[in-house]
Structure 1
Amino acid sequence: MKKLLLLLLFSVSIFAQNDSISVSKPNLSLISLNKLNIVYRGISNPISVNVNNLKSYKIKGESVFQKNDGSYYIQPKSGKDIKVLVEIETSDTTKVVEEHIFRTKELPHAAILVNQKGCINGDCTIDIPAKELLNAEISFKLIDFLLDYNISVTGFRLYLSNNNGDFLDSFEIKGNKIPQDVYDVIMSNEKATLIIIHKLTFASDLNLSIAKTPLIKIRKV
């Protein structure tokens, strides 16, 4: 699964007459996937650090943490900006402190899509021809999200209703498509005018947890 990569490239200036140098801004900073220096609240934003001419370094910050495998993450909690400090000891024992500022941003609105049709961040009704319901693909999308990500639907609940909202039937479906047996029931039930999809489960490389997903109503046409 593709991982998010936030790459910070630091260059170190060496001065023989000083043992310690405090640098308020890095000499060179490259953001590989997001040139806007943005990290999102609500998820762990992975970072990868490459420091030139180093002997050792430490990464510090209120929202910075390190996992057991040595990888670093930024997980903002509040505020408009996040400050990350990199304390570097170069190969000639010069000490450098570099400061990086990242803007924080809320996670964007989400949408459930059926064959790429849907509504943003809310319950809605869409029209789909009956013949297109077989193997119709259910997907989940973050709107205007500025980083690369993978979210795949692993299951969902589907139930049938009539125009009055009366419950007719229900199915727990594994995967992200409406299977043949459920499609056959939908087509054979003449009263089933609305198909409701909700309670999605999904896999994501964002370490993202969503307590409640919106529902989407499909009207056969």
Structure 2
Amino acid sequence: AVNLRFQTGDEKGKVEKRDGTKQDWINYHYEGYPLVASLAKLTALQADVKATEEDALKSMLEGELTNQVSLKNFATSLMASKSAFYSGEKYDGKIIISKTDKSSTPVRAELTLDGRKLSEGKDYAFEAGGIKMLISAGSPGDHEVAGTMYFMQDGEEIPVEVKNSFATISKPNAALIAADKMNVVYRGVANPMSISIPGIPDNKVSASAPGLTKRSASKYVMNPGKGRTVKIIASGVLPDGQRISTPAEFRIKDIPRPAGSIRGESGSAKMGKKNLEIATVGALLEDFDFDLNLKVSGFKFKVPGQPTVSVNGNKLDSRAKSALRRARRGDAVQIFDVNAYITNNKSYKLKKVSPVIIELTN
């Protein structure tokens, strides 16, 4: 079309006349013609130039438009109302398409994670079609990425708001094994407990019960009071906002009966008088799961044929030693009615301490 509109003769610029001779193209069209005819030809030439410009521009735009809308420049992604779903829930996600060519790459961004400013290269990177996040999942709980990313359009930066969230849950690293008949807490003891709900971050789990105190994250301490049972209720909020509560009942037991001891030996022992005079009377909780520190504030001491002596403290006093000197070899002396207490919980009344029998070896 361009060659036809702007043909100016042969390669030498000549046009063949009717008589067979050749003449320059400009002389052939304009020499010897009236002014009006020459102006008409120039106007037609101008019209051809404009028509050619329009055809060229149309052709270029059609190619660019085809390139822009080509499905080769798009990719699919999955979008849903939340990042995690539970069994039985209806999945509300949808598949969307987005451009992935260089024209849809942001030129800059201002992003934050839970209010903390993110840095390009360290926390995110630009790529065709958007921004690739390089952050870690972080601690369990909900996290929000917010801010603005900017695209170039007609020489101007166009802002696009960013406000998305994701949830992080604790990674399972151990099996849960429990003895169904051993849900027991002890009165008078700070019973450590771990309370959590699978799939819910610790900061969205709460637990309540008489005597229950939270220490940190999923760690609690139970100090049971009166009664034979205590019910602990654990509550949490699922990612969809639904609140769940789960009760668990524990039996309350008293601290078992302590055993009286002498020189660290309980039940019965053999020793000489001199050793007994300097030995320490104590109380032991044998095979008990908690390491409690027990102290003795007093006890009774009995030598066969002698009056019972009441002693304050955890060693024989002068009256008990005097009675001991009257004992004979082979006699069995008794330490009983031992008064013991828990050093960090003196208000708790222990069960009666079992006695100690000492056989004298001299």
Q: What TM-score, normalized by structure 1, do the two folds share?
A: 0.56
Answering whether residue 319 of structure 2 is matched by residue 151 of structure 1, we say: no
Amino acid at match of 2:326: K
Q: Which residue of 2 aligns with 1:15?
A: 86
1:1-221 aligned within 5 A: 15=86, 17=89, 29=176, 37-40=182-185, 42-44=187-189, 46-49=191-194, 51=196, 53-60=201-208, 64-66=210-212, 72-73=221-222, 75=224, 77-78=227-228, 84-90=232-238, 93-100=241-248, 102=250, 107-119=255-267, 126-145=269-288, 147-159=289-301, 161-167=302-308, 169-173=309-313, 176=314, 178=315, 182=317, 186=321, 190-192=325-327, 194=333, 196-204=335-343, 208-210=348-350, 212-221=352-361
Q: Which residue of 1 aligns with 2:170?
A: none
Q: Contact conserved, 1:41 with 1:77, CA < 8 A, in 2?
A: no
What is the alpha-carbon distance in structure 1 between the residues aligned to residue 319 and residue 236 of structure 2?
Answer: 64
Q: Which has the larger Rg?
A: 2
Unaligned 5+ residue runs, structure 2?
A: 1-83, 91-173
What is the alpha-carbon distance in structure 1 between the residues aligned to residue 176 and residue 348 of structure 2?
Answer: 27
What is the alpha-carbon distance in structure 1 between the residues aligned to residue 211 and residue 231 of structure 2?
Answer: 13
Q: Percent identity?
A: 11
What is the alpha-carbon distance in structure 2 between the residues aligned to residue 217 and residue 47 of structure 1?
Answer: 36
CA RMSD of aligned residues (A): 4.4
Report which of the two has the higher share of helix.
Answer: 2
Shift of 1:69: 8.4
What is the alpha-carbon distance in structure 1 between the residues aligned to residue 343 and residue 251 of structure 2?
Answer: 23
What is the alpha-carbon distance in structure 1 between the residues aligned to residue 276 and residue 208 of structure 2?
Answer: 51
Q: Contact conserved, 1:197 with 1:216, CA < 8 A, in 2?
A: yes
Unaligned 5+ residue runs, structure 1?
A: 1-12, 19-26, 120-124
Report which of the two has the higher share of strand.
Answer: 1
Q: Contact conserved, 1:40 with 1:107, CA < 8 A, in 2?
A: no
Shift of 1:115: 1.7
Q: Deviations over 1:43-70 (max 9, x none)?
A: 4552444545144333245xx4336989
Flag the structure with more relative contact order, 1 or 2, with Cα contacts below 8 A and sequence separation at least 6: 1
Q: Contact conserved, 1:139 with 1:152, CA < 8 A, in 2?
A: yes
